Structure 1
Amino acid sequence: MINLAVIVAYLVAVAVIGLKLSGKQRSASDYFTGERSLPWWAVMFSIVATETSTLTVISVPGVAYAGSFSYVELAVGYLIGRVLVAFVLLPLYFRGGFVSAYQYLGQRFGRHLQALASVTFLITRLLAEGVRLFAGAIPIKLLLAEFGVHANYFVIVLAITAVTVAYTYVGGIKAVVWTDFLQMSLYLIGAVVCIVVLLRQTGLGAFATAFDAGKLTVFNFDLPILTSPYAFVTAVVGGALLTMGSHGSDQLIAQRVLSCRSLSDGRKAMIGSAIAVGVQFALFSLVGALLWVNNGGASLARLGLSSDQIFGDFILRGLPVGLSGLLVAGILAATMGSLSSALNSLSNSTIADLVQSWAGRCPAPEVMLRIARWATGVWALVMVAFASMFTTTDNPVVELGLSIASYTYGALLGAFLLGLLVRRADGTAAGIAFVATLLGTGWAAIGLRIGADAKPLAFPWFVPLGVAITLVVGGLVALLRPRREAPVHVAEPAGG
């Protein structure tokens, strides 16, 4: 029962620490952006913790176990994409004094497109976070089974959400950022501990064994470009545009950066997060490669485990009691970090892009703060319902989570680029292009199959495809419509 005691102690500690560090919130602006007072390094770690989640912690080792270090290759594209976001999109948000990235679309194209983008984000984030929540429940279910407790995924998801809401509801973005920092430290320490334990079991010769077997290969030029997410061109080009969509047009990440003190600090946080993510991918991929060596190269089928279970199984069976509980707490930390960020950004987008934009006025700060907290609680309940939709571990959840988000990132990023690149485009052109992109990307995800073996298009290509559709359709509609100046709608920051 020592493991369970460690986990319970962690859950209580993180809720208390989150509330202590957040301070007293006085307005919706403070609740959502911390009055733009957070240091860039804390925001950087919060970005990393937000995007890492349980998907990275439990899935990337499995990907490396079954394949190689090719997941690290995505980090190259991520760095390129985040540099572009830092110098192309972030100036728009800081110059406008926004608390939501979609307020730019409202200013450029009108509130209808702002609302459409916000609703698209809300639905996408619910689905993607549903996968992340489910992923976090996987090792907890295994641990409880060790003690004869057979809890279903729904109960576990409900418990994780309840603890996360405890500090997110009251503390807002400050609680989210500072607990993200602590939680990221925990799961990174966990990865290093696993590497040390595995090296003690296998010896330093494990590196040579893994290298000879191709497990440490980062760049792969032989995989098919269109159907493999880990082909070099796919990872770099597709990964760059994917991260531009996720970090430039997704409110989940944009909100973190808007909490920085200045544009310069925002750029440091954005670019620094790409480097930190690359290090994380390497650490968790190394765990997977060493697990493969430790198991004598046995296949997942021979072990009777899925790729998402291999790391969790090692935590429970290969680590000493207490330490394994700490590692499971690290997985919980990743889950709670991404969940708290999602709840706060969902509430933010609801208030800034829907309620305030359509109400036409800003209520008193204390009223907005109360509405923001209620929105956080409501989204938490909806999140639990979405997470209950996922009940299988047949495929790597890291790919599933990224695929869900990729379906709409093309439309969101494309709308921003359309506003920057096509001066003649107005709200009508942008709206038609946005809907056409969602339909086109949806068809590519569901109906498009490539080659004799009918493989689906790799998820990093959904964003480039979506951006291309948006620019082509939006540009053509703008050319066919009578020439007019793009409307300018002034959007007031939420919360006063």
Structure 2
Amino acid sequence: MDILLGSVNIEVSLLCLFAYMSAITVLTIIIIYFMVLMGIMYLTSKGATNETFFVGERKSPWHIVAYGMIGASLSGVTFISVPGWVEGSQFSYMQMVLGYLVGYFVIAYVLLPIYYKLNLTSIYTYLEQRFGVISHKTGAIIFLGSRVLGASVRILLVASVLDAFVLSQWNVPFEVTVIASIALIWVYTNRGGIKTIIWTDTLQTTFMIIAVIVACIVVADQLDLFSKGVFSSIVNSEYSQIFFFEDINAKSHFLKYFLGGMFITIGMTGLDQDMMQKNLTCKSLKDAQKNMIFFSVILVFVNLLFLGMGALLYMYSNSTGIGQGVDSADHLFPSIALASETGNILAILFIIGLIAAAYSSADSALTSLTTSISFDLLNIEKKEKKQQNTLRKRVHVGVSLLLILVVLILKKYTDKSAIDALMFFAGFTYGPLIGIFAFGILTKRHISDLLVPILSIISIGISVLLSLYSKGGKLVDEGAPGILGDYVLGHELIIINAFITFILLIGFSKKAKLVV
């Protein structure tokens, strides 16, 4: 990977920076961190059963769940990609974050009451009760595809950075990095499942936030911004614009980000077994709602912190030349954090934060995928107790192998930045889920169970065609207008996909018969 640090090849610079003893230090940090996670696993998995693995015995303290969900929500995508977002898009990401906030309120007061009323383990069981078995399987399969892609993008991001900046000096193949990362996650989630993850997420959230705060302090100090005012320096920089209202055709327009963010949250959190499984471990609906609201408000400030760090990193890069010419915005933070000029403390905390980012998203994804496959596809609850335990363990191993395979495929065939790729995939996969759930909750109409997957596929197909043939799409010449003229499709694609699904379901459904 040919990444330039100023006019010097960054791979060569990092080989010099990470001498043999430094590499041993990095490896030692990883081992210690992993042993801490193993300790948490041991404490939380005593007497663990399948109920412990899937729903944490429904005894999780809401404030612990809320704090841990910050790290799981941010993951490696926010840790690395959001700071790199700043140069081309400034603070426009906050428009989406404000949309997230509204989406979380919808989840708390519309979706969570349904999940708790039905006492669900897998949220897609609702679709079977509302429409039938085929709809249930459809929702689960859409989630599985969405979560496998989302988790793989996150793992790919972190594994790529570890490979480029740390492990490549030992000539460790990228494939080995991916396999080792997922294998370690499997080890500490295999027994306690979601109960273990609730507590490991708190540790990982803490490390991520500490790493960002220290990065801000170190960079601001080197730029001598404390005397000028760090906050005012960021606000007055060229990177701080949040709101964009000028051109509705532009991808960065407020409504596209805000509405896209709201629907992405409803889809990627409220209709996602991964995030909802943690909420369902709370003792009551009231606790789950408090968790969601607290988490959503804190997340606004945490994302603002990440964007502030991004502005500082670009100001530092422009001042010193470090990080200039990197081949991906995702590599700006690591190139500065691992530079000798910023010191060993930041480098060590960056590595810890990076590992925390990887584990906080991948461990819960591994557990939620295991849960969904076990309940939604294999009907584990209908089997004998002894068979349930064996089946769950086999599924857990199978999901781990699947994630490894998909990460390696994405590594070969995608060149998008991580956050852009994640939102791009979400538009196609979560849109139908939103449409199906909206139809089920907002109407009382009946539809043939068999039609639900067919109409979902049609909706995805139409959305793919719109993406390919709109301005900036892969099948449209650069600069030429697309099927929608000069309108550039952005994150509102998920809304379009959901709306198409909803309209198709309405069109092929019938009014509910009145029962006398």
Same fold? TM cut 0.5? yes
The structure 1 residue matched to 2:82, chosen from 40, 50, 60, is 60
Post-superposition offset of 1:262? 0.8
Task: Report if the CA contact (8 A) 1:45-1:181 is conserved.
Answer: yes
| Alpha-carbon RMSD | 2.4
CA shift in 2, pair 1:178/1:233, >3 Å: same
Post-superposition offset of 1:91? 0.9
Task: Report if the CA contact (8 A) 1:15-1:164 is conserved.
Answer: no
Task: Report if the CA contact (8 A) 1:234-1:460 is conserved.
Answer: yes
Aligned to 2:476: none
CA shift in 2, pair 1:323/1:13, >3 Å: farther
Q: How does 1:202-221 map to 2 (within 5 A)?
A: 202-204=223-225, 205=228, 207-221=231-245
Aligned to 1:365: 385
Aligned to 1:493: none
Identity %: 27
Post-superposition offset of 1:282? 1.1
Report the secondary structure of 1:346's partner residue.
helix
Residue-by-residue CA offset, 1:311-370 (whole Å, 9 max, x unaligned): 0111111432254123212111111111111111101111111111xx8x6123343233
1:464 equivalent to 2:485? Answer: no
* 1:198 alignment partner AA: V
CA shift in 2, pair 1:143/1:429, >3 Å: closer
Post-superposition offset of 1:263? 0.8
**Structure having greater relative contact order (Cα 8 Å, sep ≥ 6):** 1
The answer to which of 329-338 and 15-24 deviates more is: 15-24
Report the secondary structure of 1:215's partner residue.
coil
* 1:341 alignment partner AA: S
Residue-by-residue CA offset, 1:408-454 (whole Å, 9 max, x unaligned): 11100111110122212322454443232222223233343368455
Report the secondary structure of 2:108's partner residue.
helix
Aligned to 1:310: 332
1:263 equivalent to 2:285? Answer: yes
Unaligned runs of 5+ in 2: 1-21, 473-478
Task: Report if the CA contact (8 A) 1:3-1:326 is conserved.
Answer: no
CA distance in 2, matches of 1:395, 1:378: 27
Give TM-score, length-normalised by structure 2: 0.86
Q: How does 1:253-292 map to 2 (within 5 A)?
A: 253-292=275-314
Aligned to 1:384: 404
* 1:449 alignment partner AA: K
The structure 2 residue matched to 1:170, chosen from 185, 191, 198, is 191
CA shift in 2, pair 1:467/1:304, >3 Å: closer
Task: Report if the CA contact (8 A) 1:39-1:260 is conserved.
Answer: yes
* 1:94 alignment partner AA: Y
* 2:258 alignment partner AA: V
CA shift in 2, pair 1:226/1:409, >3 Å: farther
Residue-by-residue CA offset, 1:352-409 (whole Å, 9 max, x unaligned): 11111xx8x6123343233212211110111011011133785321111122122111
Aligned to 2:256: 234
Unaligned runs of 5+ in 1: 487-496
Aligned pairs, how many? 477
CA distance in 1, matches of 2:42, 2:32: 16
1:111 equivalent to 2:113? Answer: no
Residue-by-residue CA offset, 1:238-258 (whole Å, 9 max, x unaligned): 211111111211111111111
The structure 1 residue matched to 2:213, chosen from 156, 177, 192, is 192
Aligned to 2:419: 398
Aligned to 2:42: 19
Task: Report if the CA contact (8 A) 2:75-2:360 is conserved.
Answer: yes
The structure 1 residue matched to 2:122, chosen from 77, 86, 100, is 100
* 2:378 alignment partner AA: V
The structure 1 residue matched to 2:66, chosen from 44, 48, 51, is 44
Residue-by-residue CA offset, 1:218-244 (whole Å, 9 max, x unaligned): 22223x44551x421112112111111
Aligned to 2:16: none
Aligned to 2:29: 6
Aligned to 2:456: 434
CA shift in 2, pair 1:319/1:150, >3 Å: farther
* 1:294 alignment partner AA: Y
CA shift in 2, pair 1:16/1:372, >3 Å: same
Give TM-score, length-normalised by structure 1: 0.90
CA shift in 2, pair 1:434/1:352, >3 Å: same
Residue-by-residue CA offset, 1:32-74 (whole Å, 9 max, x unaligned): 1112110111221232222211111010110114431221221
Task: Report if the CA contact (8 A) 2:189-2:196 is conserved.
Answer: yes
